[in-house]
């Protein structure tokens, strides 16, 4: 059903900054064009399903359709066949950075020695900033939170931290190690809570590795953040480190004849062929509310982007150039923060650009494991669970969305919600001039130009 032409490059294994080239046919480049696509009326008539409805399915459904965000959620987090239902290849003992290496050279060397996995099934192998730059990445975040806490709450209130999508708890360990070692009086008043993106992705080995037992102030909440229903009235920090880029998006295209948006669906027929169809915006409240909020933002940035799109949209109606991936799950998360964590301080870190992303505004990077390497794919229309799907984060849009959703203020007028470069954040809180690896490499080499930090 699919061609398998690979074009491997070490740089593709990581979210590095470079000019994105046009995707070539690769994994899951469908050759369904040689087959006759069912009529739109047939695909549209399939029953609509959600990832919540397919939660207990052991194999992906057929003869059905899903909104794109529901399909991506199901592909990533279904407990039986989702990409993150598989065990993660833990990176316990990475090689230390050499004195004269920059981070790209270091990552290439890591791939050569540790980047291959021997497994008969598709399995994920992720090198996060936490893993690569341990423990200094966690130390910098801890130093920021402690300085803000001591400025505003200490000693009358506890330091309460919620981390979303903490995985194996390594970042939590680095943060608490720093507070325990350098701020023992603050450590006595620290509470650390772990929440996951899904109620089924807390690793079974989490407790076995001693990440929780080492610090008795940790509570693991095996609950889906998107089903959170408990009010947290205390002031707290809420962390999401390289997490929101895995929040599912919806897809819209504009009918240039009427300038009306159409929402995307993924349809699967009885032979498990996957198709993308578009219909006029319906009654999905999340998409409707997001599009309404985006109109309220009305920034010059948004207008410029729209003008640029107009220049591209002179081809045919609903062409690929008109595709826009909208962050509807991120919008849902903002509403959860506003409703249940009204006194939060938000700390988010993620990539604002990705290599080899799909075409379209805010298109994702789709990749799968092949012979132990993560390789890019040209489409997300693949069997659920086969691919990781990662989106770049538009931090300016994120800031405007946050201000209107969580601060009820005109977008852009709130100074206490800011986007900073990752390098600038480390320069202020990471002590990178004096911090060195065991082999003497300066942590100033942790340069990540396409990573940003959002602070409130």
- The residue with greater pLDDT, 202 or 65, is 65
Q: Are residues 379 and 400 in the same domain?
A: no
Whether residue 125 is predicted with pLDDT greater than 50 in this model: the reply is no
pTM: 0.81
Q: Are residues 200 and 107 in the same domain?
A: yes
Whether residue 285 is predicted with pLDDT greater than 70 in this model: the reply is yes
CA 7 to chain centre: 25
pLDDT at 416 (0 to 100): 82
Q: Is 217 inside a domain boundary?
A: yes
Residue 374 β-bridge partners: 369
Q: Is 6 inside a domain boundary?
A: yes
Average pLDDT, integer, range 47-51: 96
Q: Report the alpha-carbon distance of residue 296 to residue 290 in Å, rounded.
A: 10
Which of these, 50, 87, 54, lies nearest to 70 by C-alpha position?
A: 50
Of 129-133, 196-200, 331-335, which has the strongest mean pLDDT?
331-335
- The residue with greater pLDDT, 448 or 384, is 384
Domain that holds residue 191: 103-246+334-347+393-455
Q: Is 37 inside a domain boundary?
A: yes
86-98: pLDDT as tens digits: 654 444 444 555 5
Q: Is 77 inside a domain boundary?
A: no
pLDDT at 259 (0 to 100): 74
Average pLDDT, integer, range 19-35: 40
- Looking up residue 149, the CATH number of its domain turns out to be 3.40.50
Q: Are residues 174 and 263 in the same domain?
A: no
Tally of domains in the chain:
2
Whether residue 435 is predicted with pLDDT greater than 90 in this model: the reply is no
**In the chain, how long is the greatest CA-to-CA distance?**
69
Q: Confidence band (pLDDT; 50, 70, 90) for 131? A: low
Q: Report the alpha-carbon distance of residue 135 to residue 176 in Å, rounded.
A: 11
Q: Are residues 121 and 186 in the same domain?
A: yes
Please say whether the beta carbons of 446 and 133 come within 8 A. Answer: yes
Whether residue 403 is predicted with pLDDT greater than 90 in this model: the reply is yes
Q: Is 91 inside a domain boundary?
A: no
pLDDT at 448 (0 to 100): 77
Q: Are residues 172 and 317 in the same domain?
A: no
Q: Is 299 inside a domain boundary?
A: no
Please say whether the beta carbons of 364 and 380 come within 8 A. Answer: yes
Q: Are residues 230 and 108 in the same domain?
A: yes
Q: Are residues 153 and 257 in the same domain?
A: no
Please say whether the beta carbons of 306 and 373 come within 8 A. Answer: no
Q: Are residues 371 and 281 in the same domain?
A: yes
Q: Confidence band (pLDDT; 50, 70, 90) for 446? A: low
Q: Report the alpha-carbon distance of residue 395 to residue 421 in Å, rounded.
A: 11
Which of these, 419, 345, 389, lies nearest to 163 by C-alpha position?
A: 345
3-state DSSP helix/strand/coil % of the chain, to nearest 5: 30, 20, 45
Q: Which of 51-65, 79-93, 158-172, 318-332 has the lowest mean pLDDT?
A: 79-93
- Look at residue 227 and give its three-state secondary structure: helix
Whether residue 57 is predicted with pLDDT greater than 90 in this model: the reply is yes
Beta strands 159-164 and 190-196: pairing type?
Answer: parallel
Q: Is 302 inside a domain boundary?
A: no
Round the average pLDDT of the chain to a whole number and report it. 78
Whether residue 302 is predicted with pLDDT greater than 50 in this model: the reply is no
pLDDT at 208 (0 to 100): 42
Q: Is 200 inside a domain boundary?
A: yes
């Amino acid at each position: 059903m699919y061609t398998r032409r690979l074009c491997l490059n070490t740089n593709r294994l990581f979210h590095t900054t470079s000019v994105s080239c046009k995707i070539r046919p690769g994994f899951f480049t469908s050759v369904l064009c040689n087959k006759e696509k069912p009529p739109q009326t047939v695909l549209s008539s399939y029953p609509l399903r959600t990832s919540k409805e397919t939660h207990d399915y052991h194999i992906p459904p057929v003869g059905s359709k899903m909104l794109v965000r529901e399909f991506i959620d199901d592909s990533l987090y279904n407990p039986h066949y989702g990409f993150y239902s598989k065990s993660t290849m833990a990176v316990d003992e990475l090689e230390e950075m050499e004195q004269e290496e920059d981070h790209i050279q270091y990552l290439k060397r890591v791939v050569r020695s540790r980047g291959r996995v021997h497994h008969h099934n598709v399995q994920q192998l992720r090198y996060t900033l936490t893993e690569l730059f341990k423990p200094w990445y966690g130390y910098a975040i801890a130093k920021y939170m402690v300085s803000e806490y001591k400025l505003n709450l200490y000693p009358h209130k506890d330091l309460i931290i919620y981390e979303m999508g903490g995985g194996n708890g390594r970042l939590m360990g680095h943060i608490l190690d720093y507070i325990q070692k350098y701020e023992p009086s603050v450590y006595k008043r620290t509470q650390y809570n772990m929440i996951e993106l899904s109620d089924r992705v807390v690793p079974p080995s989490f407790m076995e590795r001693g990440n929780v037992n080492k610090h008795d102030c940790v509570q693991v909440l095996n609950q889906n953040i998107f089903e959170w229903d408990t009010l947290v009235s205390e002031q707290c920090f809420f962390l999401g480190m390289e997490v929101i880029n895995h929040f599912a998006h919806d897809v819209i295209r504009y009918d240039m004849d009427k300038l009306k948006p159409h929402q995307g669906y993924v349809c699967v027929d009885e032979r498990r062929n996957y198709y993308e169809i578009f219909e006029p915006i319906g009654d999905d409240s999340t998409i409707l509310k997001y599009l309404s909020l985006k109109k309220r933002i009305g920034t010059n940035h948004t207008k410029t982007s729209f003008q640029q799109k107009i220049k591209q949209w002179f081809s045919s109606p609903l062409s690929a150039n008109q595709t826009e991936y909208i962050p509807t799950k991120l919008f849902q998360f903002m509403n959860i923060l506003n409703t249940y964590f009204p006194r939060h301080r938000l700390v988010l870190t993620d990539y604002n650009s990705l290599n080899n992303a799909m075409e379209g505004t805010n298109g994702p990077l789709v990749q799968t494991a092949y012979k132990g390497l993560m390789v890019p794919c040209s489409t997300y229309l693949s069997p659920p669970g086969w691919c990781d799907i990662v989106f770049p984060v538009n931090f300016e849009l994120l800031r405007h969305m946050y201000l209107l959703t969580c601060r009820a203020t005109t977008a852009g007028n709130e100074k206490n919600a800011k986007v900073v470069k990752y390098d600038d954040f480390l320069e202020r809180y990471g002590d990178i001039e004096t911090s060195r690896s065991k082999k003497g490499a300066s942590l100033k080499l942790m340069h990540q130009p396409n990573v940003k930090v959002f602070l409130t």
